Each structure stands twice: as C-alpha cells, then as structure tokens.
Structure 1
Amino acid sequence: MPHLALYTFGVLTSPLADPAPLTREFHDRAEPIYRQISQHPGYLAHAEVVEGGTGSHFDLDWGGWGEFVVPNWYSKGRTVEDIALAATLSLWTDLRSACDAVYSGLHRAALNRRRDWFDRTGHPSHVFWWVPDGVTPTWQDGVSRLEHLHEHGSAPHGFAYPHAFAPDGTTGGSTGIEPRPAPPAA
C-alpha cells in the first residue's frame, strides 16, 4: 500500500541562531509540535539526523532521507550562524491523517503565527506525493516536487492540499476528504 510523503519549506525572517524573542519563540515550539504530530494516527516517520550529528542542516547525516537540499529560491545562509529556514519531510498513511495533524493542535496554532516568522516568498510551502510501501522519500524528492508544483501546479507528481490526487493518479474526491478552508492569516 502506498504511503504519503509531505515536504514543507519556509524561509525564516531571521536566522535560527538569532537570539531575538520572536525567533526563540519559533524555535521553542518545534519539539512539542514534533512530539504531538508523531503521536497522531497515520503518522509513520519524519526525517531525523543520525545520532551525534552537529552543524547546520547541510552538514548533517540524514541517513536514508538523503542529503539535505533546498529549493532554488532559498538565498539565505547555509551555516549554523546564518541559516534561516524551516523544512520538514515526513511519511503518512494517508492524506486525511496528514491534514488532520497539520491543521489541528499545536501545529495549527503555529500556522496562525506563520506571518510572524516566515518571509512571503510567493512559492508553495508544502507538497504531497505518494511513494510505494517501503520507500523512504529524500530531501531531493521533496525539493524537486515542490519546485515542480510551483512551476506547473498540482499533479500526481506533487500536489498541494486541497488539490489532491489519490495514489492511482485520480483527482480529489477519491482521497476521501473534502477541502477545508485555509487557516486564517495572522
């Protein structure tokens, strides 16, 4: 049975190492959000650094998730001191589970604050795609599909909610969920 991959990417207004209260607030929310999402029904896994890794995202060993890469529109830093991005890569049983997790709880509260932390880039912030059972998506998969989504719109290759595709490539309704309104802007 195929699984659903989800890649998210955002450009932060300031580097992760910035000691300003707003940046610290964003950083401090990450662990509780990951913990809550990892307990959500339908969650399978997310990209994590192999134990003992230090450095920026680009220097770390992500194991089977592959080398860390970013979309071509990211132009900020790549070192621990100046990196200004937030990226996730996760695996789900289905679209409903992923969307329920993203649009509820602590993550929903964080989404409502996204304008405080992220630049408005004019690019999509997430992409979904189906992977065969047993396949681990890579950071490169996520980036290439997000860039494709930006250039061509939703397709079976990569889609954004609510313009979903089922594993067989058919559109929308066969995913079993109805589109939800976007979260209110902060």
Structure 2
Amino acid sequence: MDGSLSVMHLAQLNIAHLRAPIDGPELAEFVALLEPINTIADEAPGFVWRLKESQQDPTATVIHDYGDHLLVNFSVWESLETLWNYAYRSAHLGVLRRRREWFLRMAEPYMVMWWVPEGHIPTLAQGMERLERLKAHGPSPEAFTFKDSYDSSEAANLPAAAEARK
C-alpha cells in the first residue's frame, strides 16, 4: 500500500434482455415506470451518477453496440450499502420483483460491481469488460456481486484503480 487512503465509490452495471422492443405494447408498463424509478435513484442517499441517453427524456434507450433488445443500467454509488438500500429498500424493489414480465431469464451473470476512485466515471465499455471478467473468472475484487462482494480496501491498490486515478 502506498500509504494514501483514497475514497472509493461503487460502480455497477446490469444488463437485461427485453422480451420485446422497448417501444412495444408489451413493455409499456415498464417504460412508464422508468421515470419515477430513475427519479428515486437520482434522489437516493449515496447516488453519484447514472448513464443517461438523454437529459430531457429519462425513458430514452441508451444506445450501445451490445445487441438488440439489451437494456443497460449503469451507475456509481458512494457505497455497497447505498446501492443495496436503493435496490432493495425503495420502490425499486417492486419493479425488480416484476422483472420476469419484461426481461428474459439469463443463465449467466447479468450484474457486476467494482470499486472506482471517487470522481471517476467508468465507461460503458469498461463496465462490459468487468461483466465479462465476472463471467470468465468468477467474483474477485475487480468484478463481484452482492452475494460475493469485496470491500473497497481490497480493490484500492489494484492496477485498474491506480490507472483510473491518473
């Protein structure tokens, strides 16, 4: 350890394969829930940032090159606890419980978390790389889940964290 203590934030990426096109009638109820749920996230204690396609339209689908019907949720939080509280102790939980209505079941990991230095906003490509790392190698301080989480101190001196601080 280099002796300096840097504050770390938690990045999270999750993907979902939609059962139908985002603008189709099958997903109308889900789309209607996006703005209120995103507002809850934006106002949640510990929220730092989330990927948005449009500042004016919170329901706009994020454009990416990772396949049709793939919904991407990408955000940064102050801690594992603040993300947990949003995901499982807010109105988000009701939407989460209904995910099978709108998304296909996935056999492989669809959510990944990792620590980033405070002030660093990772790219979507970096998030997808972390998800691939989790799929290929299982949980580690560089790519983990709620079930198999790691403390920020375990990630603070990893090469990726040092690179992000530059």
**How would you bin the TM-score normalised by the shorter chain?**
0.7 to 0.9
CA deviations 1:4-63 (Å, max 9, x no partner) are: 10111000111102123xx1011111110010111111111111236589x8633xxxxx
- The correspondence for 2:143, drawn from 155, 158, 169, is 158
Amino acid at match of 1:140: A
Q: Give 1 or 2: higher helix fraction.
A: 2
Gaps of 5+ in 2: 1-6, 156-166
- Find the aligned partners of 1:52 and 1:98 in 2 and give their Cα distance: 24
Structure 1 gaps, min length 5:
59-67, 78-83, 171-186
Q: Distance in 1 between matches of 2:138 and 2:84?
A: 19
Other-structure match for 2:159? none
Kindly, what percent of the aligned residue pairs are identical?
30
Runs of 4+ in 1 over 6 A off after TM superposition: none
Secondary structure of the structure 2 residue equivalent to 1:86? strand
Aligned equivalents of 2:41, 2:123: Cα separation in 1: 20
Superposition TM-score, scaled by structure 1 size: 0.72
RMSD of equivalent CA atoms: 2.0
Q: Would the aligned equivalents of 2:9 and 2:77 in 1 still touch at CA under 8 Å? A: yes
Aligned pair 1:29/2:14, yes or no?
no
The counterpart of 1:9, out of the listed 15, 34, 41, is 15
| Cα distance, 1:104–1:56 mapped onto 2, change above 3 Å | closer
Residues 124-161 of structure 1: per-residue CA shift (max 9 Å, x gap): 22111001122111101111111111121111111011
